[in-house]
Structure 1
Amino acid sequence: MDQTKPWLAQYDEGVPAEVEIPNRSLVDLFADAVRESGDATCTIYEGEELTYQQVDDFSERIAAYLLDQGLKTGDRVGILLPNSPAFVISFFGILKAGGVVMALNPAFRLAEIETQTIESGIRVLILKEAFYTTVKTQPFMNDIRTVVVDSEAGTVLPDGDTTWEKIMEAFAGCVPVNVDINPDDPAVFQYSGGTTGIPKCAIGLHRNLVANVYQFNHWLVNTEPGKETILVAIPVYHVYGMVLGLNLAVKMRARMVLIPDPRQLDYLLDAIQTYQASIFPGVPSLYAAINHYPPVLEGKYDLSSIKACISGSATLPIKVKHEFEALTRGHLVEGYGLSEAPTATHCNPILGENREGSIGLPLPNVDCKVVDLESGEHEVEIGEIGELIIKSPQVMAGYHRRPEETALTLRNGWLFTGDVVRMDQDGYFYIVDRKKDVIKVGGFQVWPNEVEAVINKHPKVKEVAVAGVVDEHGNEATKAWVVLKPGEESSTEEIRSFCDQYLTRYKIPKHIVFIDELPRTTVGKVLRRVLASEE
């Protein structure tokens, strides 16, 4: 056993130290599934099913349309859709045409859509009809060539834009597109807080996502090819959902049950029971909600089909794990990942030992070090605290148009994660703190700088600090400490209402307190951690 990788001894039986990852693209991955399992169900959504062959046909039409519009290899195409067949079809259609998927959160406010659209350079936007009128009139849309609207039949749009229905009709029976897709081509842009807390586009190459799919396909030792159903409740507009929901399903020839809104628990639980979902990636707050949902406790739902659940984006409380496993008789394990290595690098064994508070073991093909926090040049001793750095085939190519941040984050082939960790003698890793100040709210990233910038716009506010606070259940929330201008008075409701004009709901601080002054270092930097530690 490799003494420099003690985690290998803890792997489940059947998980190799190194996975053979083919030099193939996501388009190749999907083509393999169509060729081998074309008649099998690919997507299930609101009771309707599409086979792999049907998704392939429809995505060819999207690809042909994009090429007809002059899309060039490397052009970004935005998807502003919830979990749905249209997203899956658009995803593969964009990639087949040589485009780069830039997925946007449907809950975004216009300011957020504008920022990411401009910075990423989106040239075509695919969205739901409900967003069209509002988005289309914005000045930032002038640089977008065309808009595709997933709409009801008969919708009429201005010249230049089109509907999903018209594309499906106009390109039916089209000759399959023939664009040369290289595994080293960019496949997705994913916004991340990086190591500095400033949102930026991480460039995920085809080979990055393919590598992570193959790693997890081997990690899930209690599953069988062609026999699984994945509950895709995590958003596919994030690489977590793209990899462990959408593309893992493709690799496994699995059915993907698409859940547009996981907050509708009856809808989600009915889907698990009806379609016998066996794999369920999610976030701790969702598993906790299921654990305490009265109809579940009353035995209304049979959840015994669940085999494997990967929990990410936040710490998984051991109580939530045990309660969920008792309900389902499946295995719920905590993992760790980041957008810069789309999507996961660590996970607890599915069948083996899970250690409380641990993010688990590095996946096959993943090398890790814990280095000193000051220089990042010296590896610390086992058990000591340092920054986690990673070298693996899923590590991103860099940040879009941000060479300085890329050079800071990627050094000599190693990804500096910005997360402070320790490793025990058996190779289990534990998150101690975040070197970066990003807040994880229900699995979504919230950047303090962004929230602070909004609150600072309020005419009564002198200054503000924002940080994450964790409750007794392990859930993280955003809190704002506000200093008002002399003589001003305000309220929590007023500040939250102001934020609602500019921020998605999950970014709005859950807790707001008014204080006289902010703690600072001798050079004037606000001490967010001091504020958070006083909770």
Structure 2
Amino acid sequence: MTDVTTSAYRERPWLARYAEGAPADITPEHPTLLHAFRASVARGPGTEAIRYFDGVLTLAEVDAASDALAVALAERGFAPGDRLALYVQNDPAFVIGLLAAWKAGGAAVAVNPMNKARELTYLLTDSGASALLCLDELYESVARGVIGGGATQVATVVTCSPLDWQTRDDPRLFDGVRRTRPRGTLDLRTLVGQYAGRAPEPAAPAPGDVAVLTYTSGTTGEPKGALNTHGTMLFNACTYREWMRLTSEDSILGVAPLFHITGLIGHLAVALLLPCPLVLAHRFHPGVVLDALREHRPTFTVGAITVFISLAGAPDAAREDFASLRVVYSGGAPIAPAVTEQFEKATGRYIHNIYGLTETNSPTHAVPLGAQAPVDPESGALSVGVPVFNTVVRILDEEGAEVPVGEVGEIATSGPQVVPGYWNKPEATAAALPGGELRTGDVGFMDAEGWFYLVDRKKDMINAAGYKVWPREVEDVLYGHPAVRKAAVVGVPDAYRGETVKAFVSVKRGESVTEEELIGYCKEQMAAYKYPRSISFLDDLPKTATGKILRRELRDVRA
């Protein structure tokens, strides 16, 4: 890594864009989020921590429930350094499980609840998780087969219901849902009652200790566990607090999935730090979230642009529904300038852009609060903002040298929010984080005023509504179908998701298969955001002289 203190970016020209009075650098007042949470509980144990439909949990109640779960896990062999996988939606159980893992001296593994058996098996095996906190319905439909197969190290399974900690049972989400206690598992609510009043042995994680493994796809397509440490998570929780000027008088609308880095930091971590109420609604449903806006009147949220498009476009949405939102940010997928204009016209609220990655614990760039992002006159791209506190961002050419202002290159980031590496993958760490500077794989440029713009992605990763999809994973599933001879997957523009997944397939001689059959085949084996939405059949796929399929040529095919 080039020493950024001697680079062309040393002066941080973007500091002139900061809001008036904002510092160039910040220093968290706590060593970890667990310390911050304990301080929050001590200051106001009766403060509302979670609002979940008609249910409310105070800080003291969340503290007691996570204490109880930590003790229960420890009594069943969960030791310091172990991992607890969280396979739930945006439910109170996620918050309780995360804190319990830390209190027991371990770390959490954030698992996408849309993952199917193949994906869950990989994550549990790779992370070496010894315990699993799982929605009862996901245990019955997915996890039971994975755990029972003996391929993982999971020894303890705790199940929970999305109906826990509320009584409204909204039929739009919970029609037909019943609490179950799957055989061979422990029930979370039962454990919380059974171990009420007990506390685990005091845990004091260090800033450099792993807090959460969040999985992201890499250059080989194999998911990698980013080492989100207590220190990196805390720093960007503080970044949200200071950049968005949030206080304990605010409340946060949790529209981003908590397993995703945006929800994990921009919702949960910030709420624990301030502290302030976190409004959860199990999973995103436009009508349900609109009702949460009307009922709980949250003041801040951050989410994918598709969330805001859905909310503003809901049939019964009214301008007044959004009036409580003092601060709105969006990241995870590119935003068209016209979309921000349309949203502001419909709701009266301006969407500030924000940019970051799993490996940076959410933001590295953000539009200063109160400012409006400029639009690049040549590309029409909306700026993703300027680097946040303590952060140096460089634009590099293919050889790793800095390019002049205004020229396009790879975005490379250094700062306290950057993870130290990937779980048990030293080669991937060395490639992506030379000297601790993250080579993002995203391509962009900085203008003379310090504003940054994303132009394209260096890699072939597909970004579907903020969810990253690696083509090779989808191709591997397609190749499992007996009729498929060759397959290639690319991202194509989509008006709603930004990008969506398209597959090109050549069929084996003598075989036949329809587009609907192949899509259904993939749908059974993959999370909903991954499977191809369309498939084109070609006699053959374009290749290099060495036989490598040329995805870039397929992007222009309209077959």
Bin for the TM-score computed over the shorter chain: over 0.9
Distance 1:473 1:168 in 2: 42
Deviation for aligned residue 1:322: 1.6
> 1:331-351 CA distances to partner (integer Å, 9 max, x unpaired)?
311111111111221111221
Residue 245 (structure 1) aligns with = 267
Alignment of 1:129 onto 2:115: no
Residue 509 (structure 2) aligns with = 486
User: Aligned to 1:82, which of 75, 86, 89?
Assistant: 89
Distance 1:211 1:194 in 2: 24
Distance 2:259 2:383 in 1: 27
Deviation for aligned residue 1:141: 5.8
Alignment of 1:351 onto 2:377: no
> 1:411-464 CA distances to partner (integer Å, 9 max, x unpaired)?
122111111111111111111111121111122111111000000111111111
TM-score, normalised by the number of residues in structure 1: 0.94
Alignment of 1:41 onto 2:48: yes
Distance 1:427 1:525 in 2: 39
Alignment of 1:333 onto 2:330: no
Residue 367 (structure 1) aligns with = 392
Bigger CA drift: 406-415 or 17-26? 17-26
Q: How does 1:121-200 map to 2 (within 5 A)?
A: 121-134=128-141, 135-138=143-146, 139-140=149-150, 143-151=153-161, 158=183, 161-200=185-224
Distance 2:44 2:347 in 1: 29
Residue 270 (structure 1) aligns with = 291
Instruction: Describe the SS at the equivalent of 1:469.
Output: strand
Residue 54 (structure 1) aligns with = 61
Residue 378 (structure 2) aligns with = none
Could you tell me which amino acid in structure 2 is paired with residue 258 of structure 1? L
Instruction: Describe the SS at the equivalent of 2:93.
Output: helix
Distance 1:251 1:116 in 2: 28
Residue 451 (structure 1) aligns with = 474
> 1:209-268 CA distances to partner (integer Å, 9 max, x unpaired)?
0011111111113x4x11111100110011211100111122222211002221x21110
Bigger CA drift: 82-91 or 32-41? 32-41
Alignment of 1:111 onto 2:135: no
Task: Tell me: CA distance 1:142–1:333, structure 2 relative to 1, closer, same or farther (3 Å).
Answer: closer
8 Å Cα contact 2:487-2:506 kept in structure 1: yes
Residue 439 (structure 1) aligns with = 462
Deviation for aligned residue 1:23: 5.4
Bigger CA drift: 169-178 or 212-221? 169-178
User: Aligned to 1:522, which of 524, 536, 545?
Assistant: 545
Distance 2:302 2:268 in 1: 11
8 Å Cα contact 2:33-2:272 kept in structure 1: no
> 1:277-326 CA distances to partner (integer Å, 9 max, x unpaired)?
11121111111122222212xx3852111111221110011122122223
Could you tell me which amino acid in structure 1 is paired with residue 261 of structure 2? V
8 Å Cα contact 2:490-2:502 kept in structure 1: yes
Distance 1:218 1:196 in 2: 37
Q: CA RMSD in A?
A: 2.0
8 Å Cα contact 2:319-2:346 kept in structure 1: no
> 1:4-59 CA distances to partner (integer Å, 9 max, x unpaired)?
31111011113211111245111111112111232111100021101111111111
Could you tell me which amino acid in structure 2 is paired with residue 496 of structure 1? I
Deviation for aligned residue 1:390: 0.7
Distance 1:194 1:521 in 2: 23
8 Å Cα contact 2:418-2:438 kept in structure 1: yes
Bigger CA drift: 201-210 or 501-510? 501-510
Distance 2:292 2:225 in 1: 34
Instruction: Describe the SS at the equivalent of 1:513.
Output: strand
Show structure 1 runs of 4+ deviating over 6 A.
Answer: none
Deviation for aligned residue 1:158: 4.5
Bigger CA drift: 30-39 or 116-125? 30-39
Deviation for aligned residue 1:524: 2.6
Distance 1:142 1:116 in 2: 9
> 1:48-100 CA distances to partner (integer Å, 9 max, x unpaired)?
10111111111111111122222222211111111011111111111111111
Instruction: Describe the SS at the equivalent of 1:436.
Output: coil
Task: Tell me: CA distance 1:506–1:360, structure 2 relative to 1, closer, same or farther (3 Å).
Answer: same
User: Aligned to 1:70, which of 77, 89, 105?
Assistant: 77
Alignment of 1:303 onto 2:303: no
Distance 2:151 2:304 in 1: 34
Distance 1:366 1:521 in 2: 40
Task: Tell me: CA distance 1:300–1:336, structure 2 relative to 1, closer, same or farther (3 Å).
Answer: closer
Task: Tell me: CA distance 1:512–1:311, structure 2 relative to 1, closer, same or farther (3 Å).
Answer: same
Could you tell me which amino acid in structure 1 is paired with residue 282 of structure 2? P
Deviation for aligned residue 1:142: 5.5
Deviation for aligned residue 1:149: 1.2
Deviation for aligned residue 1:488: 3.2
> 1:83-136 CA distances to partner (integer Å, 9 max, x unpaired)?
011111111111111111102111211111111111111100011111223422
TM-score, normalised by the number of residues in structure 2: 0.90
8 Å Cα contact 2:214-2:226 kept in structure 1: yes
